[in-house]
Structure 1
Amino acid sequence: MKTNQMDFWNGQFGSEYTDRNTYSYEELDGFYKAQFGVTRTEMNQEFLGGLSLATTLEAGCNVGNQLRCLQAMGFNGLYGIELQQYAVEKSKQLSRGINIIQGSLFDIPFKDSYFDMVFTSGVLIHISPDDIYKAIDEMYRVSNRYIWGFEYYAEAGYQEVQYRGNEDKLWKTNFMQLFLDRYPNLQVVKEKIYKYVQSDLVDQMYLLEKK
Protein backbone atom coordinates (compact mmCIF):
# COMPACT_ATOMS: atom_id res chain seq x y z
CA MET A 1 0.00 0.00 0.00
CA LYS A 2 1.25 3.47 -0.91
CA THR A 3 -0.29 6.85 -0.10
CA ASN A 4 0.44 10.52 -0.79
CA GLN A 5 1.35 10.95 2.86
CA MET A 6 3.92 8.14 2.66
CA ASP A 7 5.60 9.79 -0.34
CA PHE A 8 5.61 13.11 1.54
CA TRP A 9 7.39 11.69 4.59
CA ASN A 10 9.87 9.73 2.49
CA GLY A 11 10.94 12.92 0.71
CA GLN A 12 12.97 15.97 1.66
CA PHE A 13 10.30 17.27 4.05
CA GLY A 14 10.53 14.06 6.06
CA SER A 15 14.33 14.19 6.26
CA GLU A 16 14.21 17.82 7.40
CA TYR A 17 11.63 16.88 10.03
CA THR A 18 13.92 14.15 11.30
CA ASP A 19 16.89 16.51 11.58
CA ARG A 20 14.76 19.07 13.46
CA ASN A 21 13.36 16.51 15.87
CA THR A 22 16.30 14.39 16.93
CA TYR A 23 16.67 14.62 20.71
CA SER A 24 18.63 13.05 23.49
CA TYR A 25 16.63 11.68 26.40
CA GLU A 26 17.26 14.86 28.40
CA GLU A 27 16.44 17.13 25.45
CA LEU A 28 13.17 15.30 24.84
CA ASP A 29 12.12 15.87 28.44
CA GLY A 30 13.04 19.53 28.11
CA PHE A 31 10.98 19.84 24.93
CA TYR A 32 7.90 18.34 26.62
CA LYS A 33 8.39 20.50 29.70
CA ALA A 34 8.35 23.62 27.51
CA GLN A 35 5.35 22.41 25.48
CA PHE A 36 3.14 20.95 28.22
CA GLY A 37 4.64 21.95 31.55
CA VAL A 38 5.47 18.30 32.28
CA THR A 39 8.25 16.04 31.01
CA ARG A 40 7.66 13.03 28.79
CA THR A 41 9.20 10.84 31.49
CA GLU A 42 6.58 12.07 33.95
CA MET A 43 3.80 11.36 31.44
CA ASN A 44 5.16 7.88 30.82
CA GLN A 45 5.45 7.14 34.52
CA GLU A 46 1.85 8.19 35.11
CA PHE A 47 0.56 5.86 32.38
CA LEU A 48 3.03 2.97 32.47
CA GLY A 49 4.28 2.92 36.03
CA GLY A 50 3.73 -0.55 37.47
CA LEU A 51 3.19 -2.27 34.11
CA SER A 52 5.24 -5.34 33.30
CA LEU A 53 6.10 -5.22 29.59
CA ALA A 54 8.41 -7.78 28.01
CA THR A 55 8.01 -6.44 24.46
CA THR A 56 6.93 -3.01 23.22
CA LEU A 57 6.59 -1.68 19.66
CA GLU A 58 6.48 1.96 18.65
CA ALA A 59 4.74 2.35 15.30
CA GLY A 60 6.22 5.32 13.46
CA CYS A 61 9.22 5.74 15.76
CA ASN A 62 11.34 8.07 13.56
CA VAL A 63 14.84 8.04 15.14
CA GLY A 64 13.61 6.40 18.35
CA ASN A 65 13.35 9.41 20.69
CA GLN A 66 10.44 7.91 22.61
CA LEU A 67 11.99 4.43 22.70
CA ARG A 68 15.21 5.79 24.18
CA CYS A 69 13.13 7.58 26.80
CA LEU A 70 11.47 4.28 27.75
CA GLN A 71 14.86 2.57 27.78
CA ALA A 72 16.21 5.20 30.17
CA MET A 73 13.23 4.46 32.44
CA GLY A 74 14.24 0.79 32.56
CA PHE A 75 12.01 -0.80 29.90
CA ASN A 76 13.50 -3.55 27.74
CA GLY A 77 12.37 -5.52 24.70
CA LEU A 78 11.91 -2.33 22.69
CA TYR A 79 11.13 -2.35 18.97
CA GLY A 80 10.34 0.35 16.44
CA ILE A 81 9.01 0.42 12.91
CA GLU A 82 9.59 3.51 10.78
CA LEU A 83 8.63 4.33 7.21
CA GLN A 84 11.45 6.77 6.47
CA GLN A 85 14.75 5.04 5.64
CA TYR A 86 16.77 8.15 6.52
CA ALA A 87 15.35 8.12 10.05
CA VAL A 88 16.02 4.39 10.44
CA GLU A 89 19.66 4.84 9.44
CA LYS A 90 20.04 7.76 11.81
CA SER A 91 18.45 5.75 14.64
CA LYS A 92 21.23 3.15 14.35
CA GLN A 93 23.75 5.84 15.31
CA LEU A 94 21.72 6.92 18.34
CA SER A 95 20.30 3.71 19.81
CA ARG A 96 21.75 0.63 21.45
CA GLY A 97 19.68 -2.38 22.42
CA ILE A 98 16.60 -1.17 20.48
CA ASN A 99 15.47 -2.96 17.32
CA ILE A 100 14.31 -0.38 14.77
CA ILE A 101 13.40 -1.53 11.28
CA GLN A 102 12.10 0.12 8.12
CA GLY A 103 8.47 -0.64 7.35
CA SER A 104 4.89 0.56 7.15
CA LEU A 105 2.26 0.85 9.84
CA PHE A 106 -0.17 -0.54 7.28
CA ASP A 107 1.73 -3.85 7.17
CA ILE A 108 3.61 -4.49 10.43
CA PRO A 109 5.97 -7.44 9.85
CA PHE A 110 5.29 -9.29 13.10
CA LYS A 111 2.97 -12.11 14.11
CA ASP A 112 -0.42 -11.61 15.73
CA SER A 113 -0.24 -10.64 19.43
CA TYR A 114 3.57 -10.44 19.31
CA PHE A 115 3.93 -7.39 21.57
CA ASP A 116 2.72 -6.70 25.08
CA MET A 117 2.15 -3.09 24.03
CA VAL A 118 1.99 -1.16 20.75
CA PHE A 119 2.03 2.64 20.74
CA THR A 120 2.18 5.77 18.63
CA SER A 121 3.25 9.30 19.47
CA GLY A 122 2.21 11.96 16.97
CA VAL A 123 1.82 9.47 14.12
CA LEU A 124 -1.87 8.71 13.63
CA ILE A 125 -2.41 12.44 13.08
CA HIS A 126 -0.51 12.16 9.79
CA ILE A 127 -2.58 9.28 8.38
CA SER A 128 -5.50 10.18 6.12
CA PRO A 129 -8.95 9.50 7.59
CA ASP A 130 -9.52 7.27 4.56
CA ASP A 131 -6.67 5.01 5.70
CA ILE A 132 -6.76 5.30 9.48
CA TYR A 133 -8.48 1.99 10.15
CA LYS A 134 -5.79 0.10 8.25
CA ALA A 135 -3.32 1.41 10.82
CA ILE A 136 -5.63 0.79 13.77
CA ASP A 137 -6.28 -2.79 12.64
CA GLU A 138 -2.56 -3.54 12.36
CA MET A 139 -1.80 -2.08 15.80
CA TYR A 140 -4.62 -4.12 17.30
CA ARG A 141 -3.46 -7.27 15.51
CA VAL A 142 0.12 -7.26 16.82
CA SER A 143 -0.77 -6.18 20.36
CA ASN A 144 -1.23 -8.90 22.92
CA ARG A 145 -2.59 -6.60 25.62
CA TYR A 146 -2.06 -2.81 25.53
CA ILE A 147 -2.43 0.00 22.99
CA TRP A 148 -0.98 3.34 24.04
CA GLY A 149 -1.22 6.64 22.19
CA PHE A 150 -0.38 10.34 22.35
CA GLU A 151 -1.95 12.37 19.52
CA TYR A 152 -3.53 15.73 18.67
CA TYR A 153 -7.09 15.78 19.99
CA ALA A 154 -10.39 17.13 18.75
CA GLU A 155 -13.57 16.47 20.71
CA ALA A 156 -15.90 15.96 17.77
CA GLY A 157 -15.18 14.48 14.35
CA TYR A 158 -12.10 14.81 12.16
CA GLN A 159 -10.53 18.22 11.68
CA GLU A 160 -7.80 18.92 9.14
CA VAL A 161 -4.96 21.18 10.27
CA GLN A 162 -2.62 22.93 7.86
CA TYR A 163 0.87 21.60 8.48
CA ARG A 164 3.75 23.97 7.70
CA GLY A 165 1.90 25.25 4.64
CA ASN A 166 0.86 21.77 3.48
CA GLU A 167 -2.68 20.44 3.17
CA ASP A 168 -3.86 16.83 3.45
CA LYS A 169 -1.00 16.04 5.85
CA LEU A 170 -2.32 16.52 9.39
CA TRP A 171 -5.59 15.79 11.21
CA LYS A 172 -6.87 15.76 14.75
CA THR A 173 -9.70 13.76 16.30
CA ASN A 174 -10.45 11.53 19.27
CA PHE A 175 -8.17 8.66 18.24
CA MET A 176 -8.91 6.74 21.42
CA GLN A 177 -12.58 6.62 20.48
CA LEU A 178 -11.72 5.30 17.01
CA PHE A 179 -10.09 2.29 18.66
CA LEU A 180 -12.99 1.79 21.07
CA ASP A 181 -15.61 2.01 18.33
CA ARG A 182 -13.67 -0.40 16.15
CA TYR A 183 -12.94 -2.97 18.87
CA PRO A 184 -15.55 -3.21 21.67
CA ASN A 185 -13.32 -5.55 23.68
CA LEU A 186 -10.90 -2.70 24.36
CA GLN A 187 -11.27 -0.92 27.68
CA VAL A 188 -9.81 2.38 28.86
CA VAL A 189 -7.13 2.02 31.51
CA LYS A 190 -6.33 5.73 31.60
CA GLU A 191 -6.94 8.84 29.49
CA LYS A 192 -5.73 12.40 29.96
CA ILE A 193 -5.81 15.67 28.01
CA TYR A 194 -2.63 17.75 27.94
CA LYS A 195 -2.90 21.42 27.03
CA TYR A 196 -0.09 23.23 25.25
CA VAL A 197 1.50 25.99 27.32
CA GLN A 198 1.59 28.58 24.51
CA SER A 199 -1.29 27.63 22.19
CA ASP A 200 -4.89 26.44 22.16
CA LEU A 201 -3.93 22.97 20.92
CA VAL A 202 -4.51 19.95 23.12
CA ASP A 203 -3.15 16.42 22.97
CA GLN A 204 -4.72 13.23 24.28
CA MET A 205 -2.83 10.38 25.91
CA TYR A 206 -4.66 7.09 26.33
CA LEU A 207 -3.88 3.57 27.45
CA LEU A 208 -6.23 0.81 26.28
CA GLU A 209 -6.28 -2.84 27.27
CA LYS A 210 -7.77 -5.89 25.60
CA LYS A 211 -10.34 -7.48 27.89
Structure 2
Amino acid sequence: MNTEQIEFWQGSFGKEYTDRNTFSVEQLDQIYKEQYGVTRTEMNEQFVGQLAECRTLEVGCNVGNILLHLQSIGFNDLYGVELQPYAVEKAKERTNHINVLQGSAFDLPFKDRYFPLVYTSGVLIHLSPDHIAMVMDEMYRVSNRYIWGFEYYSDHYEEINYHGQSGKMWKSDFVSLFVSRYPDLQIVKETKYKYVKNDNVDQMYLLEKRIE
Protein backbone atom coordinates (compact mmCIF):
# COMPACT_ATOMS: atom_id res chain seq x y z
CA MET A 1 0.00 0.00 0.00
CA ASN A 2 1.42 3.35 -1.02
CA THR A 3 -0.32 6.71 -0.85
CA GLU A 4 0.50 10.37 -1.28
CA GLN A 5 0.42 10.73 2.49
CA ILE A 6 2.83 7.82 3.05
CA GLU A 7 5.35 9.30 0.62
CA PHE A 8 5.00 12.69 2.33
CA TRP A 9 5.68 11.36 5.83
CA GLN A 10 8.58 9.18 4.73
CA GLY A 11 10.29 12.19 3.19
CA SER A 12 12.12 15.20 4.61
CA PHE A 13 8.96 16.74 6.07
CA GLY A 14 8.40 13.66 8.22
CA LYS A 15 11.96 13.82 9.55
CA GLU A 16 11.57 17.51 10.37
CA TYR A 17 8.25 16.80 12.11
CA THR A 18 9.91 14.12 14.22
CA ASP A 19 12.77 16.39 15.25
CA ARG A 20 10.50 19.22 16.36
CA ASN A 21 8.01 16.95 18.16
CA THR A 22 10.30 14.93 20.43
CA PHE A 23 9.27 15.70 24.01
CA SER A 24 9.77 14.30 27.46
CA VAL A 25 6.74 13.42 29.59
CA GLU A 26 7.16 16.69 31.47
CA GLN A 27 7.54 18.81 28.34
CA LEU A 28 4.49 17.35 26.63
CA ASP A 29 2.42 17.74 29.80
CA GLN A 30 3.31 21.43 29.86
CA ILE A 31 2.31 21.83 26.21
CA TYR A 32 -1.03 20.14 26.86
CA LYS A 33 -1.64 22.22 29.98
CA GLU A 34 -1.13 25.41 28.00
CA GLN A 35 -3.24 24.20 25.06
CA TYR A 36 -6.14 22.45 26.83
CA GLY A 37 -5.85 23.40 30.49
CA VAL A 38 -5.15 19.76 31.39
CA THR A 39 -2.03 17.61 31.02
CA ARG A 40 -1.75 14.60 28.75
CA THR A 41 -0.94 12.46 31.77
CA GLU A 42 -4.22 13.52 33.37
CA MET A 43 -6.11 12.66 30.17
CA ASN A 44 -4.45 9.25 29.99
CA GLU A 45 -5.25 8.46 33.60
CA GLN A 46 -8.89 9.46 33.18
CA PHE A 47 -9.41 7.34 30.05
CA VAL A 48 -7.17 4.30 30.41
CA GLY A 49 -5.54 4.44 33.82
CA GLN A 50 -7.55 1.37 34.84
CA LEU A 51 -6.18 -0.58 31.85
CA ALA A 52 -2.49 -0.49 32.75
CA GLU A 53 -2.28 -4.29 32.80
CA CYS A 54 -3.37 -4.51 29.15
CA ARG A 55 -1.03 -5.33 26.30
CA THR A 56 -1.25 -2.06 24.35
CA LEU A 57 -0.47 -1.01 20.77
CA GLU A 58 0.00 2.53 19.48
CA VAL A 59 -0.55 2.84 15.74
CA GLY A 60 1.67 5.64 14.45
CA CYS A 61 3.82 6.06 17.56
CA ASN A 62 6.49 8.33 16.00
CA VAL A 63 9.23 8.75 18.65
CA GLY A 64 7.15 7.26 21.47
CA ASN A 65 5.94 10.37 23.30
CA ILE A 66 2.61 8.83 24.32
CA LEU A 67 4.08 5.40 24.95
CA LEU A 68 6.41 7.02 27.48
CA HIS A 69 3.43 8.72 29.12
CA LEU A 70 1.66 5.38 29.47
CA GLN A 71 4.77 3.76 30.85
CA SER A 72 4.99 6.54 33.45
CA ILE A 73 1.53 5.62 34.80
CA GLY A 74 2.21 1.90 35.03
CA PHE A 75 1.76 0.36 31.58
CA ASN A 76 4.48 -2.25 31.06
CA ASP A 77 3.45 -4.25 27.97
CA LEU A 78 3.68 -1.62 25.26
CA TYR A 79 4.08 -1.85 21.49
CA GLY A 80 4.31 0.80 18.81
CA VAL A 81 4.17 0.68 15.03
CA GLU A 82 5.61 3.59 13.07
CA LEU A 83 5.91 4.13 9.31
CA GLN A 84 8.96 6.40 9.30
CA PRO A 85 12.28 4.56 9.84
CA TYR A 86 13.97 7.67 11.24
CA ALA A 87 11.31 8.01 13.94
CA VAL A 88 11.57 4.30 14.75
CA GLU A 89 15.28 4.60 15.41
CA LYS A 90 14.77 7.65 17.62
CA ALA A 91 11.99 5.86 19.51
CA LYS A 92 14.24 2.88 20.16
CA GLU A 93 16.99 5.18 21.42
CA ARG A 94 14.78 6.99 23.93
CA THR A 95 12.63 4.13 25.26
CA ASN A 96 13.30 1.04 27.36
CA HIS A 97 11.18 -2.12 27.50
CA ILE A 98 8.86 -0.83 24.74
CA ASN A 99 8.53 -2.78 21.49
CA VAL A 100 8.72 -0.34 18.57
CA LEU A 101 8.44 -1.75 15.05
CA GLN A 102 8.71 -0.17 11.62
CA GLY A 103 5.52 -0.91 9.69
CA SER A 104 2.37 0.39 8.09
CA ALA A 105 -1.03 1.00 9.67
CA PHE A 106 -2.51 -0.50 6.50
CA ASP A 107 -1.01 -3.89 7.37
CA LEU A 108 -0.34 -4.24 11.09
CA PRO A 109 2.11 -7.09 11.74
CA PHE A 110 0.06 -8.79 14.45
CA LYS A 111 -2.48 -11.57 14.64
CA ASP A 112 -6.20 -10.96 15.10
CA ARG A 113 -7.34 -9.72 18.54
CA TYR A 114 -3.80 -9.68 19.90
CA PHE A 115 -4.11 -6.43 21.88
CA PRO A 116 -6.70 -5.64 24.53
CA LEU A 117 -6.04 -1.93 23.81
CA VAL A 118 -5.19 -0.30 20.46
CA TYR A 119 -4.93 3.46 20.00
CA THR A 120 -3.92 6.43 17.90
CA SER A 121 -2.97 9.96 18.90
CA GLY A 122 -2.98 12.51 16.10
CA VAL A 123 -2.69 9.89 13.37
CA LEU A 124 -6.12 9.35 11.84
CA ILE A 125 -6.19 13.06 10.96
CA HIS A 126 -3.39 12.43 8.46
CA LEU A 127 -5.23 9.68 6.56
CA SER A 128 -7.16 10.49 3.42
CA PRO A 129 -10.93 9.91 3.69
CA ASP A 130 -10.43 7.50 0.76
CA HIS A 131 -8.08 5.30 2.81
CA ILE A 132 -8.97 5.70 6.48
CA ALA A 133 -11.38 2.75 6.55
CA MET A 134 -8.49 0.38 5.80
CA VAL A 135 -6.57 1.57 8.85
CA MET A 136 -9.68 1.44 11.03
CA ASP A 137 -10.22 -2.13 9.86
CA GLU A 138 -6.70 -3.07 10.89
CA MET A 139 -7.08 -1.44 14.30
CA TYR A 140 -10.37 -3.23 14.82
CA ARG A 141 -8.85 -6.53 13.66
CA VAL A 142 -5.96 -6.53 16.14
CA SER A 143 -8.01 -5.20 19.06
CA ASN A 144 -9.42 -7.75 21.46
CA ARG A 145 -11.50 -5.21 23.35
CA TYR A 146 -10.70 -1.49 23.38
CA ILE A 147 -9.96 1.21 20.79
CA TRP A 148 -8.74 4.53 22.18
CA GLY A 149 -8.05 7.74 20.31
CA PHE A 150 -7.21 11.42 20.49
CA GLU A 151 -7.75 13.33 17.25
CA TYR A 152 -8.85 16.70 15.87
CA TYR A 153 -12.64 17.00 15.96
CA SER A 154 -15.28 18.27 13.56
CA ASP A 155 -18.88 17.17 13.15
CA HIS A 156 -18.14 16.59 9.46
CA TYR A 157 -15.12 15.62 7.37
CA GLU A 158 -13.11 18.79 6.87
CA GLU A 159 -9.73 19.26 5.22
CA ILE A 160 -7.19 21.48 6.99
CA ASN A 161 -4.32 23.30 5.35
CA TYR A 162 -1.21 21.77 6.88
CA HIS A 163 1.92 23.94 6.76
CA GLY A 164 0.87 25.15 3.32
CA GLN A 165 0.20 21.59 2.11
CA SER A 166 -3.13 20.31 0.82
CA GLY A 167 -4.30 16.70 1.04
CA LYS A 168 -2.32 16.06 4.24
CA MET A 169 -4.71 16.66 7.16
CA TRP A 170 -8.40 16.32 7.97
CA LYS A 171 -10.60 16.50 11.02
CA SER A 172 -13.82 14.62 11.65
CA ASP A 173 -15.97 12.88 14.24
CA PHE A 174 -13.86 9.74 14.48
CA VAL A 175 -16.10 8.23 17.13
CA SER A 176 -19.01 8.27 14.69
CA LEU A 177 -16.82 6.78 11.96
CA PHE A 178 -15.86 3.86 14.20
CA VAL A 179 -19.28 3.07 15.67
CA SER A 180 -21.07 3.36 12.33
CA ARG A 181 -18.58 0.98 10.69
CA TYR A 182 -18.49 -1.58 13.53
CA PRO A 183 -21.92 -2.10 15.13
CA ASP A 184 -20.47 -4.01 18.08
CA LEU A 185 -18.45 -1.00 19.28
CA GLN A 186 -19.90 1.02 22.12
CA ILE A 187 -18.71 4.32 23.57
CA VAL A 188 -17.19 3.93 27.03
CA LYS A 189 -16.07 7.54 27.39
CA GLU A 190 -15.77 10.60 25.17
CA THR A 191 -14.53 14.11 25.95
CA LYS A 192 -14.09 17.11 23.69
CA TYR A 193 -11.24 19.36 24.76
CA LYS A 194 -11.52 22.98 23.64
CA TYR A 195 -8.29 24.88 23.15
CA VAL A 196 -7.54 27.56 25.73
CA LYS A 197 -6.60 30.21 23.18
CA ASN A 198 -9.06 29.52 20.34
CA ASP A 199 -12.23 27.62 19.47
CA ASN A 200 -10.59 24.50 18.04
CA VAL A 201 -11.68 21.24 19.64
CA ASP A 202 -9.96 17.85 19.94
CA GLN A 203 -11.75 14.61 20.82
CA MET A 204 -10.59 11.79 23.09
CA TYR A 205 -12.61 8.60 23.14
CA LEU A 206 -12.53 5.05 24.45
CA LEU A 207 -14.57 2.43 22.57
CA GLU A 208 -15.22 -1.15 23.60
CA LYS A 209 -16.28 -4.22 21.68
CA ARG A 210 -19.50 -5.62 23.12
CA ILE A 211 -18.90 -8.98 24.75
CA GLU A 212 -21.59 -11.46 23.80
Give the TM-score, by structure 1 length: 0.98
Residues 186, 207 of structure 2: 8 Å contact kept: yes
1:85 corresponds to 2:108: no
1:206 corresponds to 2:205: yes
Q: Whole-Å Cα distance in 1 between the matches of residues 194 and 146 of structure 2?
A: 24
**Per-residue displacement from partner, 1:44-88 (whole Å, max 9, x unpaired)?**
111113235330000000000000000011111100000000000
Structure 2 equivalent of residue 187 of structure 1: 186
Cα deviation, residue 31, structure 1: 1.1
Q: Whole-Å Cα distance in 2 between the matches of residues 17 and 51 of structure 1?
A: 30
Q: Whole-Å Cα distance in 2 between the matches of residues 94 and 30 of structure 1?
A: 19
Q: Whole-Å Cα distance in 1 between the matches of residues 52 and 26 of structure 2?
A: 24
Residues 53, 117 of structure 1: 8 Å contact kept: no
Structure 2 equivalent of residue 176 of structure 1: 175
1:42 corresponds to 2:33: no
Q: Which amino acid aligns with 1:108?
A: L
Structure 2 equivalent of residue 138 of structure 1: 138
Q: Whole-Å Cα distance in 2 between the matches of residues 4 and 123 of structure 1?
A: 15
Q: Whole-Å Cα distance in 2 between the matches of residues 132 and 48 of structure 1?
A: 24
1:163 corresponds to 2:162: yes
Does the residue aligned with 2:50 lie in a helix, a strand or coil? Answer: coil
Structure 1 portions without partners, runs of 5+: none
Structure 1 equivalent of residue 9 of structure 2: 9
List aligned pairs for 1:97-176, cutoff 5 A. Answer: 97-155=97-155, 157-176=156-175
Cα deviation, residue 197, structure 1: 1.2
Identity among equivalent positions (%) equals: 64
Cα deviation, residue 28, structure 1: 1.1
Does the residue aligned with 1:50 lie in a helix, a strand or coil? Answer: helix
Q: Whole-Å Cα distance in 1 between the matches of residues 52 and 198 of structure 2?
A: 35
Q: Whole-Å Cα distance in 2 between the matches of residues 35 and 53 of structure 1?
A: 30
Q: Whole-Å Cα distance in 1 between the matches of residues 113 and 79 of structure 2?
A: 14
Structure 1 equivalent of residue 29 of structure 2: 29
Q: Which amino acid aligns with 1:115?
A: F
Q: Whole-Å Cα distance in 2 between the matches of residues 52 and 93 of structure 1?
A: 23
Q: Which amino acid aligns with 2:195?
A: Y
Q: Whole-Å Cα distance in 2 between the matches of residues 183 and 138 of structure 1?
A: 12
- Provide the alpha-carbon RMSD of the alignment: 0.8
Cα deviation, residue 136, structure 1: 0.3
Does the residue aligned with 1:49 lie in a helix, a strand or coil? Answer: helix
Count of equivalent residues: 210
**Per-residue displacement from partner, 1:4-48 (whole Å, max 9, x unpaired)?**
000000000000000000001111111111111100010011111
Q: Whole-Å Cα distance in 2 between the matches of residues 104 and 35 of structure 1?
A: 30
